[in-house]
Amino acid sequence: MDLTLCRRALAGAACILLLLLAGAPVGRAATIGSDAIHRKAQGEPIRGVITAETIDGVQFGEKMSIPSVAISQVDYYDTPEAFRRGHDRRQQGIFAEAIKYYETAAKTPNVRKFWIEPACLYYAGLCHLDEGVDMAAAVAKFQELLQGYPNSRYVPDTLLGLGRAHYTARKWEAALAQFKKLAELAAGKTAWEEWLGTAYLWQAKTYLDANKPVEAMANAKKVKDVVQDPKHDIVVQARAVEAKVMLEQDKPKEAVDLLRALIKDLAPRVAEEIDRSDAAARLQRTEAQCYNALGQAYLKLYAKSKKEEDLRESLLAFLWTVVLYPRSQFALEHAEALFHAAQCFEKLKQKARATELLNELSEKYPDSPYNTRTPGTTKAGAPKKGE
């Protein structure tokens, strides 16, 4: 390879990538096309030839690091149009159409199977997960990927997705098993702090919902030990878990203070996430969860103080999620907010508003654990902790 040409074409870390390609075994380094690799920090593409050896280097996860090059995305030159359309529909929240496009893309001829098939399985599973309707279908897609492509670079994403699908279905032990597998995988890799922190975070969330606050707090602290940036969204979510544990420990005032600080820190970053149309919407989900937790904290304060002011603060917090996060992508958070906002309206003697929200809960989320209404009434019962 012409090193002078390399230096002219790419600077710094990008050259290291091309040098890696040059050192690949001849039998596996045959040119297969010109793809684009995106660096994690800046996001601009590095144009170059990707060989089988290169793919081996980034096979485990989109945040894998090759020396001096943090990989955030690989755009393959033979990407089918159906795959691009699937991404477009997924970002718009049109999940059923997106799944069909991914299934079509996986069958496209003359596309390198080593990436298109696991990619389509992963994103189809993610669509089922984000749609929040058919967790069995999400589990099936993720399991098919893990069984058929155990070395795919989508493996960590898939372990997380599989755990989240079980979590959404309230199958705590099954969810924990996948999050622990992700933690074990990440612990054995270099520069996988984000993945390790993510695994601990989801264990913390699962333990919290399984009514194990001690284990939840322990894993939330592990997140902060692994991910050093206090403003990282994973750390912010871990702090939100700590606030919820405070509620379990009957410390609502401390929880309110922490949650308000988190919400203040989140606001500008949520706006940035919306501006860049980030399909993952992690910060938006965290904001919705923080507002729901804030509503719970004020409800606990109201139970002690009997002050209408506390009840109204609780209602305002839940209504934030009701109004701003009605998309199916936030089904868990939205259903929770609808239920508790309705209960607040009941306590404020505004039964018409309560009935309106409970009707929406029944219509949009018939299978939600919050939807336990008796037909013809406005009564609903919150799901029991640990169910």
At 25 the pLDDT is 35
Residues 60-71: tens digit of each pLDDT: 444 444 433 456
Residues 9-62: tens digit of each pLDDT: 333 344 434 333 333 333 333 344 577 777 655 556 666 665 554 555 555 444
Across 58-67, 112-121, 206-215, 314-323, least confident range: 58-67
Q: Name the average pLDDT for the chain.
A: 82
Domain with CATH 1.25.40.10 in the chain: 79-169
CA distances (Å), origin 20, targets 54, 55, 127, 132, 243: 8, 11, 35, 42, 46
CA distances (Å), origin 268, targets 41, 46, 231, 242: 20, 30, 12, 22
Q: State yes or no: pLDDT of 128 exceeds 80.
A: yes
Residues 173-224: tens digit of each pLDDT: 999 999 999 999 999 888 789 999 999 999 999 999 999 999 999 999 999 9
Q: Confidence class of residue 3 from pLDDT cuts 50, 70 and 90?
A: very low
| Domain at 79-169, CATH from 3.90.420.10, 3.40.50.300, 2.130.10.10, 1.25.40.10 | 1.25.40.10
For the chain, percent of residues with pLDDT exceeding 70 = 78
At 374 the pLDDT is 41
DSSP of 127-181: HHHHHTS-HHHHHHHHHHHHHH-TT-TTHHHHHHHHHHHHHHTT-HHHHHHHHHH
Mean pLDDT for 100-106 is: 97
The C-alpha atoms of residue 303 and residue 344 are separated, in whole angstroms, by: 12
Q: Which has the higher per-residue pLDDT, 371 or 12? A: 371
At 214 the pLDDT is 94
